[in-house]
Chains A and B, each alone.
Chain A
Amino acid sequence: MRHIISVLMENEPGALSRVVGLFSQRNFNIESLTVAPTEDETLSRLTVTTIGDDRVVEQITKQLNKLIDIVKVVDLTEGDHLERELMMIKMKANNGTVRAEIKRTADIFRGTIIDVTPNTFTVQLVGASSKLDAFIEALGTANIMEVVRSGVSGIARGEKVLSV
């Protein structure tokens, strides 16, 4: 099962490499990883998506908690949560039919065309990872020139917060 694990850690040099190293050292899988500082500049927020059974995910959260730089760990998928990922996708758009098709699909998915040249469109799309997958599927891979995805960020719904 897919899990979204959110981590609050000290904004120290080397902290990220300890997290990434832990995953490879213990043979845990990483689907995506995002990290950036928070409003408190001493803390970074890291989100990792991983696939594993309950035993593996329990080990992942326990092992993450053991790292000295890590302040808090939560498996967001245990409760109600929101997940978002940003994608920028560059496509061949060199005739009217294709351009119209991309524009229409982008509208349906509530994407935005953020760059246009005579031969290309670049679309920005935000949503759960499955929505981004669905967009790619809807358009087909034939016209795709480049895809860049941010990896998942997640937050709990309601009043629950991850903070010190």
Chain B
Amino acid sequence: MELLSGAEMVVRALRDEGVKFIYGYPGGALLHIYDAIFTQDDVEHILVRHEQAATHMADAYARATGKAGVALVTSGPGATNAVTGIATAYMDSIPMVVLTGQVMSHLIGEDAFQETDMIGVSRPIVKHSFSVQRPEDIPEIIKKAFHIAESGRPGPVVVDIPKDMTTPTERYEYEYPKSVKMRSYNPISKGHSGQIKKAVDMLLAAKRPVIYAGGGVIMGDASQELIALAKELGCPVTNTLMGLGGFPGTDPQFIGMLGMHGSYEANMAMHHSDMILAVGARFDDRVTNGTDKFCPTAKIVHIDIDPASISKTIKADVPIVGPAQAVLKEMLEQLQAAKSTPSAESLKTWWEQIEEWRGRHGGRYNTNDSELMKPQQVIEMLSKVTNGDAYVCSDVGQHQMFAAQYYKFNKPNRWINSGGLGTMGFGLPAAMGVKLNFPDEEVVCVTGEGSIQMNIQELSTISQYGIPVKVICLNNQSLGMVRQWQDMNYESRHSQSYMKSLPDFVKLVESYGHVGIKVERYEDLEGAMREAFAMKDRMVFMDIAVDPFEHVYPMQVPRGSMRDMWLSKTERT
């Protein structure tokens, strides 16, 4: 058997796991590992400019592929800089393996230079963590880390590696385990057939059913099964922010996103439904609004791989624990084998009602109240120019909601955003992580002038590796979502929500060797955007001036029911 040092084992194990890229930043505790990286070509290391970006790159790769991304950061500040990225992945159940350097074992607990208790710091935001105590355990720990990160309800796993576990002169027999078994961790592989039967009976009897599908459909690779089931039932489908793309955005059965900034028709349909089939969604507070007023007439079937997500905020009438793909497949089989079908007549009445709602509001916005472009127009143009096929990596704020509402996602895994944690600064490194792995696909970062400045240093990484992402910056010179809340709840006292001293983004990106395009008039938008996307091998930053007074609508009225919404600055349901 081959003899390898701990450092070499780390890199070899990653190779044997099939990892192509790792994203990281070196430091004292990692020097042995970085030396082992230097002497091989199987795993390519991408040097970021800040560790947070490394975690977002790994995270976005995972969102696009379903496989765990890998970040490598040093002890102390390297590890703490990764914390936001780990929490981002945790909140959205994204598989990720974060290798953190640690000071030598004998120094742990002595407040050594660049020491942080990373196992302790990361504990509430990881699915699990490992601290390497013996170098010979490294292959098994790494195998377990990937297994835990990717199976069941996915999540980030931290592996903390003290420097003396990687000493180059100490060598051990290396063999990468083909599989691992853990008595305390056995993720479920199928749903309970009896429970699925109950759900099928309810679906057949329902008069006003809605499918409410979330990120579990994306991460559980269940989009095809969801589409097949929805087609069989003929019922409306709404997606959560995390679930967009899980059902085609241009399909007539799709009624838009639901929740705080969900479509009028989706929120109305939920509120008036008599049966909700929730798939891989967790009844988050941004979806349910006031839980005591939530969908008063609906029976709820809740499919989730994590039993703790079921009946956490909203009680399920029929809980089904299992992976979305397997459960939906069995549900469809049972449905097709059933003797009856859903009542065509009630379904017709239900759709007439939904179409009436859709026709009444249906995502319109006013383009006449400002000289400036509307952010919605920019997203609609982006959707048109990229045919709804691009990987859209978003930052956080108004632009994120506009992208979610107006970009028509037809495929899963292409809408990449920080939904749960709401991490500003996520978009650019996320786009980089996707583009590196999908060089032939269009990858866009939709951002604002606030978010982009939270990880703007990565323009340098983009130069180093030639990562031609396109940045669509909706520049409203203010922290738009904060400003919107201040308009609505604080009599427009814009406390700290404006951006003074913005850089000239065009000149800024040019200084890194990229292309900058400034757009101020809607007439110029399509041409400029087509020009940007025609530059296949260049990173292009589009600085687009948009109306700073625009709000995101609909917006649910706090603590109301799902149907209580502001539809514009003056209209309420």
Contacts and interface: CB of A to CB of B under 8 A. Distances in A.
Is B a genuine binding partner of A? yes
Interface in B287-304: none
Contacts of B182: 68
Given A13-B131, A58-B311, A68 B120 contact: no
B339 interface: no
Contacts of A59: 308, 312
Interface string A51-65: 000010011001101
Interface of B: 119-120, 123-124, 127-129, 131, 133, 148, 153, 182-185, 306-308, 311-312
B184 A10 contact: yes
7 contacts: A10-B184, A14-B123, A55-B311, A62-B308, A63-B308, A68-B182, A68-B184
A112 B173 CA distance: 58
A71 B120 CA distance: 21
A69 B184 contact: yes
Given A13-B133, A14-B119, A69-B184, 13 more contacts: A9-B184, A10-B184, A14-B131, A59-B308, A59-B312, A63-B308, A65-B307, A66-B153, A68-B148, A68-B184, A70-B184, A71-B184, A164-B183
10 cross-chain pairs, A with B, having the tightest CB-CB distances, nearest first: A62-B308, A68-B128, A71-B184, A25-B124, A21-B123, A62-B307, A68-B185, A63-B308, A66-B308, A14-B119
Contacts of B133: 13
Contacts of A25: 124
Interface of A: 9-10, 13-14, 17-18, 21, 25, 55, 58-59, 62-63, 65-66, 68-71, 164
A18 B130 CA distance: 12
B306 A66 contact: yes
B96 to A, nearest CB: 15
A13 B134 CA distance: 14
Nearest to B309: A62
A59 B148 CA distance: 21
A70 B184 CA distance: 6
Which of B128, B129, B306 is most buried by chain A, counting CB atoms within 10 A of its CB?
B128
A120 B131 CA distance: 48
A68 B145 CA distance: 11
A14 B311 CA distance: 29
Contacts of A68: 127-128, 148, 182, 184-185
A73 to B, nearest CB: 11
A4 to B, nearest CB: 20
Contacts of A9: 184
Nearest to A25: B124
Contacts of A62: 307-308
A66 B90 CA distance: 14
A14 B132 CA distance: 12
Nearest to B120: A17
Given A68-B148, A70-B184, A14 B308 contact: no
A69 B127 CA distance: 11
A18 B308 contact: no
Nearest to A8: B184
Nearest to A62: B308
A18 B312 CA distance: 20
Contacts of A70: 184
A62 B307 CA distance: 7
A66 B123 CA distance: 13
Contacts of B307: 62, 65
B134 to A, nearest CB: 13
A55 B129 CA distance: 28
B129 to A, nearest CB: 7
A10 B123 CA distance: 17
B131 to A, nearest CB: 7
Nearest to A20: B123
B123 A17 contact: yes
Contacts of A65: 307-308
Nearest to B119: A14
Contacts of A17: 120, 123
A81 to B, nearest CB: 23
A68 B129 CA distance: 9
Contacts of A58: 311
B215 to A, nearest CB: 17
